[in-house]
Amino acid sequence: MRIHCPLCGARDRREFSYKGAALVRPLAAAEPEAWHAYVNLRENPAGPLAELWYHEMGCGSWLQVTRDTVNHSVLEVVLARDTALGAGA
């Protein structure tokens, strides 16, 4: 498996670590249900999924990778800092 890091180019999977679904962190004051959904519940699609990978053994970038969980094809990779996942935080 290879992931195309926007900064480093295509690199082997073993340079990356995985965090899971890319979700927007709730506001501090959000209801417990929102936090439960953020930490525990997962849509877990069989198909394209936006997820977070960390180029730990490379440039250290957190990436948002859109990948098909059925055939593993990578549809898009962007730097996570260019997304708005911290909107709530």
Partner 1 sequence: MRIAGKGQGAGAKPVNFTFNGRHLMGRAGETLAAALLANDIHLVARSFKYHRPRGILTAGSEEPNALVTLGAGPVQDPNQRATTQELYEGLEARSQNCWPSVEHDVMAVNNLAAPFLGAGFYYKTFMWPAAFWEKLYEPMIRRAAGLGALSGLADTDRYEKAYGFCDLLVVGAGPAGVMAALTAGRAGADVLLLEEDIRLGGRLLAEEEEIDGKPAQIWLQEAEVELQQLDNVRIMRRTAVTGVYDHGTYGALERVGHHLPRQHSLKGSQRPRECFWRIVAKHCILAAGAIERPVAFRNNDRPGIMMAGAVRAYLNRWGVTPGERVTLFANNDDAHRTARDLVAAGVHLAAVIDSRHDAPDSDLYPVMKGAQVCNTSGSKRLESITVRSVRGEERIQSDCLAMSGGWNPSLHLTCHLNARPSWRRELLAFVPQTGAVPGMRAVGACNGSFSTHAALSEGAAAAVAVLAELGLGAIAAVHLPEAEDQPYRIAPLWAVPGKGRAWLDFQNDVTVKDVTQAADENFRSVEHMKRYTTQGMATDQGKNSNVAALAVLADVTGRSIPETGTTTFRPPFVPVAIGAMGAGAADQGFKPQRFVPSHVVAEERGASQVEVGLWYRAAYFPKPGETNWRQACDREIMSVRQSVGVCDVSTLGKIDIQGPDAAKLLDFVYTNTFSTLRQGRVRYGLMLREDGFVMDDGTCARLGDTHYVMTTTTAAAGEVMAHLEFITQVLHPEWDLRLTSVTEHWAQFAIAGPKSRALLNDLLDQPLTPGDWPFMACGAVTLGGIKGRLFRISFSGEEAYELALPACYGDSLFRTLLERAEALGGGAYGMEALNVLRIEKGFVTHAEINGTVTAQDLGMQGMMSQKKDFIGKAMAQRPGLMAPDRMQLVGLKPIGAVQELSAGAHLFDPEAPVERIQDQGYVTSVGFSPLLGHMIALGFLKQGAARIGDEIRLVDHMRGIDALCQVVEPVFFDPEGERMRG
Partner 2 sequence: MRFSGWRVLKEGLTGNRGWGPQWRDPEPKREYDVVIIGGGGHGLATAYYLAAEHGITNIAVLEKGYLGGGNVGRNTTIVRANYYLPGNSEFYSHSLRLWEGLEQELNYNAMMSQRGMINLFHNDGQRDAIVRRGNAIINQGDDAELLDRDAVRRLVPYLNFDNNRFPIMGGLLQRRAGTARHDAVAWGFARGADMRGVDLIQNCEVTGIDVEGGRVTGVQTARGPIRAKKVALAAAGRSSQVAALAGLTLPIESHVLQAFVTEGIKPLVDHVVTFAEGHLYISQSDKGGLVFGSYLDFYSSYAARGNLPMVEHTMETCLAMVPAISKARLLRSWGGIMDMTPDGSPIIDHSPIAGLYLNCGWCYGGFKATPGSGNAYAHLIATDRPHGPAAKFRLDRFSTGHGLMDEEGTGAQHNLH
Query: Considering the complex, what minimum distance in angstroms separates the CB of residue 33 from partner 2?
Result: 8
Angstrom distance (rounded) from CA 29 to CA 18: 28
49 binds partner 2 (CB under 8 A): yes
Distance, CA of 64 to CA of 61 (rounded, Å): 10
Candidates 35, 28, 29, 80; CA nearest to 54 is 80
Calculate the CA 32 to chain-centre distance: 23
3-state secondary structure of 41: coil
Out of partner 2, partner 1, none, what residue 18 binds, judged by CB under 5 to 8 A for its kind, is partner 2
The residues of the shown chain that bind partner 2, judged by CB under 8 A, are 1, 12-14, 17-21, 32-33, 36-37, 39-46, 49, 51, 67, 69-72
Can you give the binding site for partner 1, defined by CB under 8 A? Answer: 1-2, 10, 12-13, 17, 19, 25-26, 28, 30, 32, 35, 38-39, 52, 54, 56, 60-62, 71-74, 79-83, 85-86, 89
